[in-house]
């Protein structure tokens, strides 16, 4: 559990769905998604987190769990659908034969250590050792065109100066062959990469690239390999100063300040109570090894890292002999070896590299559990509640394969869903607002188990630990029921065999999974297997039921005294104290310096900013390998779609996407119209959709419903969908007023084709008969939602700012902010008060929502069943589809809803009245306890009716990865700076993330238009720069998609009435972008209409901004 970057944990876990189902439970189980399976929750939670992570593709993966490598199919007496029905990764004989030829491909520079076939994933693996350098290389051949490459170094820190994290940022800032200041950015700007990233764990650092284009893939490999082995950073102190930390001073009379990208990132991390809780918990149970320090860096300790120590760390740990090199995909194995030999041949053996990086085991040394109390920063308006988490060091020896799969299933049984016994007991106790910890974390050499509550009253602190222990004692004595075991096993195995990594590379999942063992000098391929330990666990369960889980609870938890209980208590002065401590420390440093020393800092500050602002020389830019426009696909990728209106006289429209193969799985979405819901009740829809899955339905209580879903499906979720649509007769590609949109309640699920009867039955059950009369559960859900929304504002303030800005200009933007932005926090507080003090009134509102959407005279007309599958799946499920359609509520021959494509949505007039009162064009500031800022500014770039060219995507992206990166991140020191443009509403916004500046960042935004005009002029004489920008925009459009994502993409295209012709026109405009388009965009940006700002920051930062003329209407959020 390392644990300071929950959003990054989630982002990286998405890429490791197979090998990380049990990953960051803290993240998965705190996001509050309405989902009854871990697999579904992980992918749903990532949509928010990924936007955070994309701010800087060098994200730290400090807590990416890759442990769920061995799953199972069924328990005694409970049938599993997975083994017989999911045909994933079963290649044809021809494909297998071709892949088998890649086993044992030889190269004179490499010895073959072993060959192996991981049949679970159709992976043909050869493990090599480079003869000269000692580097190990795992070559995995699969039938996957999304090729993946990674280099991982074991990098255990001995202190919290953040050296591995700073080095991870720094090695990508130029190298021996690739001379620009930041080749990483050039790749981000102008490659077809499907993944471009680096991340730091507590004990290792990974550098990963992926691409579907072979030429591009080789370019990426070369840049990354040269970067890690021959970085400029180890000989240029300015890189360490920029990415890590430096003292900054512009005038002798001014105070010294600390600046640096990582320094400011970690100030943001350490502003988050959740991150502090996770960090302190980890350190409390690892007092004696590398996990007891922060690999990311503590803001107090980072300035203790010297350039010499920084360089020595690279020299010590970045030798090829300490690296693990990974390839996966359908590229040529011989070429893999040839490319890597070019880099590895520069190095001789380094016998000390691996021993020096060996991770020492933390032994279970506590004679009795420890109790720790630490403060967390709290706002003046926050209630004085505490956070409690109980933490165990689970193992001080390697798990056997069977133990590993068993502890994974145990974790799901305890914490995997809202109905799992430990999760359910804690939440229903009323002792706190939401779960902390989330259970098992086993991505590192040693696993931990953490669980607790936040929002705990001081008098209830001791009760939380008591309840955790008593619940585990009950489990140890009574065990788990047969249906609970069946549901957990089927949930995990379904996700395992489906191997659905979404748009992220499957090769990366395989890499993270293999690294879980390989990095500790064990077999990389054994880490990927699950069939044999699965069979052994099933046998154990068939013989003794849940005894295997009970024994594990006794041995690793109840009988384990290496435990800590961490209490975090609120301090309303902590933020101020930390800021004052930093000021005092810097003042003392300044006082100790001579005038000559201070002048040197001033000179260095000027020099660094000059270097940061300088353009790369043409000859340096020419060293970065690139693609040409001729390498790009000119046609839009269209996915199959067939629309059947009033199918089998049901009144329901059925949309089908028949793909080549979906491995025997049917993916289904049922969309139900909610336009009849009163606008005042629309903010209740997120609560309503959670209740559909968490309060029980019909004869099933919440536990039984969850287990039914887990046993028979791959997951079911419910959410609200609001999507702007093209007006009938309107001009495609033009800015709309936002008055035409569709509003749906969306039930989503997946199952093997022989289980779709169950899937559709569950859809019908939760739609009709969800238990709405559940006062205690509703209060629990609302408390949890309040806690989560407060954490989101504090940790992901850029999203809050962006949502707030967009709510001022467009009807759809307003309703989205009302449902999920800052306004929704106020709504949740009001609903919580109503639930506690006037529940009958709240219940009546919820019942009215259901009655309205199931109004028999119109509901079927507003229903759409969207299905994705292959031909065999569709043939097999058709009887189930017809049966489902016939039983849906409503009259098939009754009335019709309005046509949302020709008439404004019925909410529009009322929304406009609300917008006039509640969303004026204004500069707003939202005060939270934080040491960083999230600065947003935006406005209307295009007016309603104006056509937006596809070139806008090129220019907007160019601004984000160029001007914003250089000025907000590199020069300004923020962790991220970017911009966003929506061609549908014409609104453009600038945003920053973990930003040490406030007023200065707004000044940067205001200078963007002039900078863009200058770039447009430069492009007239620099066609390569234009080509790079176009390639990057195409990369955003052409990411790899999983089967279900392909279906969803085409469904949304159809739902919004976007034509294939418009998509192709837009792509053509992207490909044909000219410097004149950049100039036109810049002129619009210079004349941005009705600009306004939204900023999340501290009171002190707003006071400083006011001193330089940046005034905001302030609101205390927490």
Residues classed as catalytic: 168, 243
Tokens of 1089: 């209409």
User: Taking CA 140 as the corner, what is the angle to CA 139 and CA 144, rounded to the nearest 5 degrees?
Assistant: 135
Query: Do 1032 and 638 meet the contact criterion of CB atoms below 8 Å apart?
Result: no
Instruction: List the beta strands (DSSP E) in 860-928.
Output: 864-870, 924-927
> Residue 1006 burial (CB < 10 Å; 0-12/13-18/19+)?
middle
Distance of CA 398 to the CA centre of its chain: 29
> Nearest 5°: CA angle at 957, between 956 and 958?
90
Sign, CA dihedral 344-346-352-353, equals negative
User: Would you list the DSSP string of 593-630?
Assistant: S-HHHHHHHHHHHHHHHHHHHSPPPHHHHTTS----GG
Integer Cα distance of 776 and 839 in angstroms: 10
Q: How far is CA 818 from CA 696, 823, 825, 1047, in A?
A: 27, 5, 9, 29
- Rounded to 5°, angle at Cα 1100 from 1096 and 1104: 95
From the list 870, 813, 491, the residue with the least C-alpha distance to 663 is 870
Q: How far is it, in rounded angstroms, from Cα 834 to Cα 1014? A: 56
| Token couple for 965 | 């990166």
Strand 386-393's sheet: what is its strand order? 370-377, 563-571, 386-393, 448-456, 434-441
Complete edge-to-edge strand list for the sheet that includes strand 1113-1116 = 976-982, 987-993, 934-940, 1089-1097, 924-927, 1113-1116
- Strand runs labelled E in 306-410: 323-329, 370-377, 386-393
* 3-state DSSP assignment of residue 1004: helix
Quote the tokens at residue 954: 């090129």
Query: SS3 for 249?
Result: coil
Return the ∠ at Cα 886 (arms to 883 and 891), rounded to 5°: 170
CA gap 171, 173 in Å, rounded: 5
Residue whose pair of structure tokens reads 């590895």 in the numeric block:
344
Q: Nearest 5°: CA angle at 85, between 81 and 86?
A: 105
d(CA 358, CA 355): 5
CA 260 to chain centre: 24
Q: Which is it for strands 653-659 and 642-644: parallel, antiparallel or unpaired? A: antiparallel
Cβ count within 10 A of residue 690: 25
């Amino acid at each position: 559990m390392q644990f300071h970057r929950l959003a990054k944990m989630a982002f990286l876990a998405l890429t490791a769905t197979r090998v990380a189902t049990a990953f960051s439970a803290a993240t998965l189980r705190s996001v509050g998604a309405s989902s009854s399976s871990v697999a579904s929750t992980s992918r749903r939670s990532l949509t928010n987190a990924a936007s955070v992570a994309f701010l800087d593709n060098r994200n730290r993966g400090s807590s990416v769990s890759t442990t769920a490598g061995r799953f199972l199919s069924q328990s005694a007496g409970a049938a599993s659908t997975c083994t017989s029905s999911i045909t994933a990764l079963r290649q044809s004989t021809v494909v297998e034969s071709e892949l088998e030829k890649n086993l044992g491909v030889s190269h004179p520079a490499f010895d073959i250590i072993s060959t192996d076939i991981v049949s679970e994933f159709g992976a043909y693996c050869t493990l090599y050792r480079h003869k000269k350098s000692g580097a190990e290389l795992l070559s995995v051949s699969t039938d996957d065109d999304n090729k993946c490459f990674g280099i991982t170094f074991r990098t255990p820190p001995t202190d919290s100066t953040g050296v591995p994290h700073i080095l991870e940022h720094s090695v990508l800032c130029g190298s021996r062959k690739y001379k620009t200041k930041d080749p990483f950015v050039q790749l981000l700007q102008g490659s077809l990469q499907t993944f471009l990233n680096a991340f730091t764990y507590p004990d290792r650092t990974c550098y990963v690239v992926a691409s579907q284009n072979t030429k591009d893939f080789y370019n990426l490999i070369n840049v990354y390999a040269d970067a890690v082995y021959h970085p400029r950073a180890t000989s240029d102190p300015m890189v360490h100063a920029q990415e890590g930390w430096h003292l900054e001073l512009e005038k002798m009379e001014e105070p010294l300040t600390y600046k640096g990208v990582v320094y400011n990132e970690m100030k943001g991390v350490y502003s988050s109570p959740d991150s502090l809780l996770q960090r302190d918990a980890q350190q409390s149970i690892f007092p004696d090894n590398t996990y007891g320090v922060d690999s990311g860096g503590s803001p107090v300790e980072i300035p203790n890292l010297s350039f010499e120590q920084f360089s020595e760390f690279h020299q010590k740990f970045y030798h090829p002999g300490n690296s693990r090199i990974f390839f996966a995909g359908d590229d040529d194995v011989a070429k893999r070896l040839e490319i890597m030999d070019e880099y590895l041949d520069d190095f001789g053996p380094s016998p000390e590299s691996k021993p020096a990086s060996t991770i020492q085991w933390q032994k279970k040394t506590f004679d009795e559990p420890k109790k720790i109390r630490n403060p967390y920063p709290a706002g003046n308006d926050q209630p004085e509640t505490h956070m409690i988490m109980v933490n165990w060091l689970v193992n001080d020896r390697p798990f056997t394969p069977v133990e590993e799969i068993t502890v994974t299933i145990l974790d799901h049984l305890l914490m995997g869903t809202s109905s799992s016994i430990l999760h359910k007991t804690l939440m229903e106790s009323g002792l706190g607002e939401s779960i902390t910890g989330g259970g098992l974390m086993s991505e590192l050499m040693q696993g931990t188990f953490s669980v607790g509550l936040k929002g705990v009253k001081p008098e209830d602190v001791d009760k939380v630990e008591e309840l955790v222990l008593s619940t585990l004692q009950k489990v140890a004595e009574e065990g788990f029921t047969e249906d609970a075991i069946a549901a957990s096993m089927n949930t995990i195995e379904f996700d395992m065999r489906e191997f659905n990594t979404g748009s992220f590379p499957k090769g990366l999942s395989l890499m993270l999974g293999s690294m879980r063992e390989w990095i500790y000098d064990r077999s990389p391929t054994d880490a990927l297997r699950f069939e044999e330990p699965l069979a052994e666990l099933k046998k154990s369960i068939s013989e003794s039921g849940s005894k295997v889980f009970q024994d594990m609870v006794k041995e690793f938890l109840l009988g384990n005294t290496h435990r800590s209980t961490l209490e975090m208590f609120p301090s309303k002065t902590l933020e101020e104290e930390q800021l004052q401590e930093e000021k005092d420390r810097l003042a003392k440093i300044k006082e100790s310096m001579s005038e000559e020393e201070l002048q040197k800092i001033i000179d260095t500050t000027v020099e660094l900013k000059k270097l940061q602002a300088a353009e790369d020389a043409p000859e340096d830019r020419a060293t970065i390998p690139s693609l040409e426009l001729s390498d790009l696909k000119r046609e839009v990728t269209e996915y199959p779609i067939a629309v059947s209106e009033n199918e089998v006289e049901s009144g329901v429209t059925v949309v089908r996407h028949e793909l080549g193969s979906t491995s025997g799985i049917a993916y289904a979405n049922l969309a139900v119209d909610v336009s009849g819901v009163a606008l005042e009740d629309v903010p209740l829809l997120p609560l309503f959709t959670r209740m559909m899955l968490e309060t029980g339905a019909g004869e099933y209580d919440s536990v039984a419903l969850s287990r039914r879903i887990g046993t028979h499906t791959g997951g079911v979720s419910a959410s609200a969908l609001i999507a702007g649509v093209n007006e009938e007769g309107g001009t495609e590609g033009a800015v709309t007023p936002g008055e035409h949109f569709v509003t749906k309640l969306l039930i989503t699920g997946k199952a093997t084709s022989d289980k779709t009867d169950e899937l559709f039955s569950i859809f019908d059950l939760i739609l009709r008969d969800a238990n709405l009369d559940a006062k205690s559960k509703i209060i629990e859900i609302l408390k949890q939602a309040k806690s989560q929304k407060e954490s989101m504002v504090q940790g992901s303030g850029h999203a809050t700012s962006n949502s707030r800005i967009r709510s001022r200009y467009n009807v759809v933007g307003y309703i989205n902010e009302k449902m999920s932005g800052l306004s929704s926090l106020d709504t949740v507080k009001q609903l919580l008060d109503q639930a506690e003090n006037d529940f009958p009134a709240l219940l009546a509102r919820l019942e009215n929502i259901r009655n309205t959407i199931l109004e028999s005279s119109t509901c079927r007309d507003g229903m759409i069943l969207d299905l994705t599958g292959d031909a065999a799946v569709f043939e097999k499920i058709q009887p189930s589809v017809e049966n489902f359609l016939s039983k849906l509520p409503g009259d098939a021959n009754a009335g019709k809803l309005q046509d949302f494509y020709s008439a404004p949505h019925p909410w529009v007039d009322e929304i406009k009245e609300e917008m006039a009162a509640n969303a004026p064009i204004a500069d707003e500031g939202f005060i939270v306890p934080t040491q960083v800022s999230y600065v947003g500014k935006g406005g209307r770039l295009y007016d309603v009716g104006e056509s937006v060219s596809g070139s806008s995507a090129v220019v907007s992206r160019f601004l984000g990865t160029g001007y914003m990166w250089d000025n907000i991140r590199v020069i300004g020191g923020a962790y991220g700076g970017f911009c966003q443009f929506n061609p549908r509403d014409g609104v453009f916004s600038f945003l920053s993330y973990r930003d040490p500046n406030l007023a200065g960042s707004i000044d940067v935004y205001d200078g963007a238009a002039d900078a863009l005009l200058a770039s447009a002029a430069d492009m007239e004489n620099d066609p390569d720069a234009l080509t790079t920008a176009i390639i990057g925009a195409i990369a955003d459009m052409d990411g790899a998609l999983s089967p279900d994502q392909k279906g969803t993409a085409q469904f949304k295209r159809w739902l919004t009435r976007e034509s294939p012709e418009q998509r192709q026109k837009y792509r053509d405009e992207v490909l044909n972008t000219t410097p004149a388009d950049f100039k036109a965009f810049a002129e619009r940006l210079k004349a941005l209409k009705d600009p306004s700002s939204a900023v999340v920051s501290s009171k002190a930062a707003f006071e400083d901004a006011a001193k330089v003329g940046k005034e905001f209407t302030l609101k205390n959020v927490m």
